[in-house]
Amino acid sequence: MIDTIFSCPIRKYNINDSDITDWAYLIYNREFENVPSPFKKILDDKEIGGILEDTYTETIETFVKDIGLGKTHVALIQGAILCVLEKGESLSLCNTLPSHYTFTHYIEGNSPDAFYHPARQLLEVFNPGLDEWSSAVSLYTNEGDVIVHPSYLDYLTPPVDNRRITFTTLVELALK
């Protein structure tokens, strides 16, 4: 599939902070018996604490400037999810609407998500079954990478090879 016809901007930043890893393990170890596998915990403001303010604010502000809205808009966190996948676990196809952007921080592990073309259902009708008609693409990720994509973009997590911990924040842009 020619994915460049309806291109979607995906940006990559990097945050390496051992405090985030320690925080993620603290939440996971405290809650893993209460959350069914695969571990997906929607976090409230109390559980997030200062981790967003101290670590993520700079990256979020940089992103808003990078897309040219730094003078007119602010980013508001609308939700946060800590996800821990053990070897062989996966997550099904989803999007994170109604937020505007999704920030996924790869805290541990580097198994990437697969992102799907926004018009894949429409274009799949014309798929001749050739390899070049791929409707999904993965990015090369390292621990510490933060992938930012529009929330309407569908994605899934294929089965992971090793434990993978991600922290996802849902961001909405608002006028200052």
Residue 44 is predicted with a pLDDT of 87
Residue 156 pLDDT > 50: yes
CB 113 within 8 A of CB 157: yes
Among 33-37, 123-127, 159-163, the range with the most confident prediction by mean pLDDT is 159-163
List the structure tokens of 154.
Answer: 């569908």
What pLDDT score does 46 carry?
81
Is residue 94 helix, strand or coil? strand
Does a structural domain hold residue 138? yes
- Is 121 domain-assigned? yes
Q: Is residue 168, in this structure, part of any structural domain at all? A: yes
Question: In total, how many domains does the chain have?
Answer: 1
Query: Which range of residues forms the domain containing residue 130?
Result: 11-175
Q: Over 60: is that where the pLDDT of 5 sits?
A: no
Name the more confident of 2 and 162.
162
Whether 69 is in a domain gets the answer yes
* Residue 24 confidence (pLDDT): 93
What is the side-by-side order of every strand in the sheet holding 164-175?
11-14, 145-150, 101-108, 164-175, 73-85, 39-42
| Average pLDDT over every residue of 16-41 | 92
What CATH number does residue 26 fall under? 2.60.120.620
Backbone torsions φ then ψ of 148, nearest 5 degrees: -115, 125
Residue 117 is predicted with a pLDDT of 72
4: in domain: no
**Is 114 a member of any domain?**
yes
Does some domain include residue 3? no
> What span, in angstroms and rounded, lies between the C-alpha atoms of 60 and 104?
12
Mean pLDDT of 136-152: 89
Span 33-92, pLDDT tens digits? 999 899 999 998 888 877 767 788 899 999 999 999 999 999 999 999 999 999 999 999
Nearest to 113, CA basis, from 162, 166, 63: 166
- At 132, the pLDDT band (50, 70, 90 cuts) reads low
**Residue 1 resides in a domain:** no
Can you tell me the distance from the alpha carbon of 56 to that of 62, in angstroms, rounded to the nearest whole number? 10
